[in-house]
Each structure stands twice: as structure tokens, then as C-alpha cells.
Amino acid sequence: MVSNASNTLVRRAVVWSGRVQGVGFRMAARSVASRFTVQGVIRNESDGTVRCELSGAGPELDRFIEAIEARMDQYVHDRHESAPGILAIPTKGFDIV
């Protein structure tokens, strides 16, 4: 059996800053998620950022993140990756908390 590294499931945590709260960012992310094979959870943080924890194939996660940023470009000023594991990722779908 040949292993395909692009299909290996990974977990990532992404934090966006800018004007990302109060603009429908989390709802937009859930809508975008419906077009990708990802599982995740997204929430507003007390510092004004939005944190998203994801699981899926690496390339699929990259495309999902790019799609969110394309849709919400006018609100995002910065993105960085954080240590994953703070939020419980659902086994299916994409949740807003």
C-alpha cells in the first residue's frame, strides 16, 4: 500500500485579527467549510481575534483558509497559526462556539 502524504489528516489552529468580530466572520467560515472536506470549530476570543481549529488533509485546509480570507478580505488584517488543541474539534462538520 502506498501512502499519500497529501491525504494525511492534520490539525491546525488559525487566529485571525482585524475587524473580524461583529461582521459575520464565523458564519462565513461555516458557509465556506461546507465546500471543503474539513472538520472544525471557530470562536471569538476576548482579545478581538477569531480562533479556528481544523482537522483535514493539509492541502484541503490550505484551500479552506485561503477561501475564508478571500471572502472576508476586507476585515482580516493578519493571520497566524497557533498551537492546536484548545478547542474540541467535532468528528463531522464545522461548529461555531
| 44 classed as catalytic | yes
Among 44, 63, 71, 79, the one annotated catalytic: 44
Residue showing cell 501512502:
3
Q: Report the side by side order of strands in the sheet with 50-57.
A: 76-82, 9-18, 50-57, 38-44, 94-96
CB proximity list for 12: less than 8 A, separation 6 or greater: 53, 54, 55, 61, 81, 84
Kindly list the catalytic residues.
26, 44
